[in-house]
Structure 1
Amino acid sequence: MRNSEKAVIKNFAVGLPENMAYGNGKEMKTAIRKQQVQEAFLSKDGFFGDGVADLKHHGGPERAVCIYPHEHYEHWNGHFETQLPRAAFGENLTVTNMLERDICIGDIFQIGEAVIQVTQGRVPCNTIDRRLAMKPLLKEMVKTGYTGYLCRVLEEGMIRGDSTIRPVAKNVQQVSVLYANEINFHRPKDIDGIVKVLEAEELADDWRQFLTKRLIKLTDGK
């Protein structure tokens, strides 16, 4: 986030797993269709009233909060000639002036009473395509790196839809979410890039593990 630009919450949403119909008569359980709320308490495990269906790939203390930049909505609406609904990507907080290029792994923000820290870029899944019936969207998210990102909770507290977002600390390694996405999705053999992402101490364990395994394979025998 640039110093001259103030981040603002445009939408605040939570939701529990429910059955969702998609495709040709298919059904799945998911919490991607989150509903707008005025306030919710944020614990170390996530917002009260929020949840995930796939515990292996979603949720947990390092993925307690999902944030998505509001600016991308205009991009996607124009690209696909559509009008996306609120919290279209299943995010909790849709915000302005917090793009992936400007937010770094380890950055800390106070939102309302709570304090959160960015841990990883979001790895988009096919539930997004299934919900929105926009099958190319997932690939475009990966291509652009417009994935949003996930956070851990350092201090629990109440958050409201009109809460102020205040930067608390910028990570010294300066590994942006967009850079980490670039290395993960598009430069899997970039040893220097992988090392740089791994230098961000606050990186989520899941990312650390798979990037470390990738690095070992690339450097084995060297």
Structure 2
Amino acid sequence: MRNNVIELKNFSIGLPKQMKYATNKEITTGICKQTVEEAFLTKDGFRGDGVADLRNHGGSDRAVCLYPYEHYLFWEKEFNRTLSPSTFGENLTVTNMLEGSVNLGDVYLLGEAVVQVSQGRVPCSTITKRTGHPLLLKMMIKTGFTGYLFRVLEEGVVRKDSKFTLLEPSTKQVSILYANEVYFHKTKDIEGIQRVLDVPELAQEWQEFLEKRLHKLITH
């Protein structure tokens, strides 16, 4: 899988704005992104991109969000409807980068920038509000089809036709799918938690969260 050519299907950014959902309800969110030709990627994310909920989104460990293109076909079949580009609020929608074949710590060249996989994405209720499917959030967590996040090692311009190539695979070989399984489902799997924590490039928030969980399991 990792030898296949990665194709950037959609490249989107957007600043937080009001989004209507349900019956006359509104929230401020950065999930509604627009397709762009190019943008400069800084350590904190793309210029012209942003999040509303700074506690749960954004920051240097969560500078870029990716969602695998193949999942669109799965969800479209599941819900019997067509999904618009960047439905999940991701910056990058790409082929051949499924959660099971991408590892924490993998380093990629993205246009002129260099990025590193830092954590799985923890989906939030805004996704269900945007799509109008109350089961979507639970199903993303159940399947592990969450997408994932990157930190930026080197800043640079990214274009919609930029090459996306693996520069340096992680030596630890802990996939996003495995990390998601431990994070969401195998909450008492001491060995699994330790395996994820052994990846030095793991995002700080996930490190702290899993260390607390491990401490509770060991001391109780």
Name the TM-score class by shorter chain: over 0.9
- The one-letter amino acid paired with 2:77 is G
Q: Which residue of 1 aligns with 2:105?
A: 106
**Are 1:165 and 2:170 matched, yes or no?**
no
Give the Cα–Cα distance (whole angstroms) in 2 for the partners of residues 150 and 198 of structure 1: 17
Q: Cα deviation per residue 1:66-116 (whole Å; 9 max; x = unaligned)?
A: 000000000000011111110000000000000000000000000110000
Give the Cα–Cα distance (whole angstroms) in 2 for the partners of residues 30 and 6 of structure 1: 33
**SS of corresponding position for 2:180:** helix
**SS of corresponding position for 2:166:** strand
**Are 1:191 and 2:153 matched, yes or no?**
no
Q: Which residue of 2 aligns with 1:94?
A: 93
Deviation at 1:25, TM superposition (A): 1.4
**SS of corresponding position for 1:194:** helix
**SS of corresponding position for 2:100:** coil
**SS of corresponding position for 2:172:** coil
Deviation at 1:211, TM superposition (A): 0.3
- The one-letter amino acid paired with 1:181 is N
Identical aligned pairs, as a percentage?
Answer: 57
Q: Which residue of 2 aligns with 1:38?
A: 37
Give the Cα–Cα distance (whole angstroms) in 2 for the partners of residues 51 and 76 of structure 1: 25
Stretches of structure 2 that go unaligned for 5 or more consecutive residues are: none
Stretches of structure 1 that go unaligned for 5 or more consecutive residues are: none
Deviation at 1:53, TM superposition (A): 0.2
- The one-letter amino acid paired with 1:155 is E
Q: Which residue of 1 aligns with 2:82?
A: 83
Give the Cα–Cα distance (whole angstroms) in 2 for the partners of residues 113 and 137 of structure 1: 34
- The one-letter amino acid paired with 1:189 is K
Q: Which residue of 2 aligns with 1:207?
A: 206
Give the Cα–Cα distance (whole angstroms) in 2 for the partners of residues 165 and 25 of structure 1: 40
Give the Cα–Cα distance (whole angstroms) in 2 for the partners of residues 173 and 77 of structure 1: 34
**SS of corresponding position for 2:11:** strand
Give the Cα–Cα distance (whole angstroms) in 2 for the partners of residues 28 and 84 of structure 1: 21
Deviation at 1:185, TM superposition (A): 0.7
Runs of 4+ in 1 over 2 A off after TM superposition: none
Give the Cα–Cα distance (whole angstroms) in 2 for the partners of residues 30 and 2 of structure 1: 33
**Are 1:2 and 2:2 matched, yes or no?**
yes
Give the Cα–Cα distance (whole angstroms) in 1 for the partners of residues 89 and 9 of structure 2: 14
Q: Which residue of 2 aligns with 1:149?
A: 148
How many residues are treated as equivalent by the alignment?
220
Give the Cα–Cα distance (whole angstroms) in 2 for the partners of residues 177 and 6 of structure 1: 19
Deviation at 1:166, TM superposition (A): 1.3
Q: Which residue of 1 aligns with 2:17?
A: 18
With normalisation by structure 2, the TM-score equals 0.99
- The one-letter amino acid paired with 1:125 is C
Deviation at 1:146, TM superposition (A): 0.3
